[in-house]
Amino acid sequence: MKNRKTTFDEGYYIKIKIIIFSITLYGMLINSLNVSAQERGGSNIIGTWSHCNKFDKTSTEFKWTFMGMKFVNVKGDYLNSDCSGAPNDGYSELYSGSYVIGQQAGSSSGMNTMQLNLTVKRTFGMPLPSYEFYTIYALEENVLYLGDTRTGPDGFSSGARPSSLQIDDGDYKRLKY
């Protein structure tokens, strides 16, 4: 029997082991991200969230989309009172930029809240000098609640982060992941 070189076979075997190791490592990373999100009270804010402000004959829909580490906030005006159909003039951008989820911020209205730090880079579709906005949020099933700045801190500094949620008029329903 001749001795054959097995360099190709060994190299192929090593490549397969590297691929399997990479897939395993990737799976462990994804699992740890999911576990840490669950440990932080289900902080999976990724997706598109919608809220409809209803008036007598018109309505305005506000949408927040969180993707990767970026966000965009848009609004659409409707000629009906329930945000159905297409917006009258399409959607217009209010704010966009990047975001970071901070630590657990305590409890508000019986829900665990998380810190949410927004770096706003565009306002009304125009690039402007960026600024920071500090708020909190909570997720309950498929509803996003944001910090209430109507009567308390305004969120324009880390020391002025809201401590309560806007429950009565600030619920955003998850539209998609």
Query: 104: burial class by Cβ within 10 Å (0-12, 13-18, 19+)?
Result: middle
Look at residue 28 in the predicted model and tell me its pLDDT. Answer: 43
- Kindly state the average pLDDT of the residues 76-92: 94
Look at residue 27 in the predicted model and tell me its pLDDT. Answer: 47
- Kindly state the average pLDDT of the residues 135-162: 89
Look at residue 35 in the predicted model and tell me its pLDDT. Answer: 37
Residue owning tokens 């539209």: 175
pLDDT at 145 over 50: yes
Instruction: State the average pLDDT for the chain.
Output: 80
Instruction: List the chain domain ranges.
Output: 1-39, 47-176
72: pLDDT confidence band, cut at 50, 70 and 90?
Answer: very high
Reported as a single tens digit per residue, the pLDDT across 33-53 is 433 443 334 458 999 999 999
Q: What global pTM score does this model have?
A: 0.71
Q: Which two tokens stand for residue 32?
A: 């740890």
**CA atoms of 154 and 4, how far apart (whole Å):** 75
166 versus 21: the higher-pLDDT residue is 166
Asked if residues 176 and 63 have their Cβ atoms less than 8 Å apart, the reply is no
Interacting residues of 50 by C-beta distance below 8 A, sequence separation 6+: 61, 62, 63, 83, 172, 173, 175
64 versus 41: the higher-pLDDT residue is 64
Interacting residues of 151 by C-beta distance below 8 A, sequence separation 6+: none
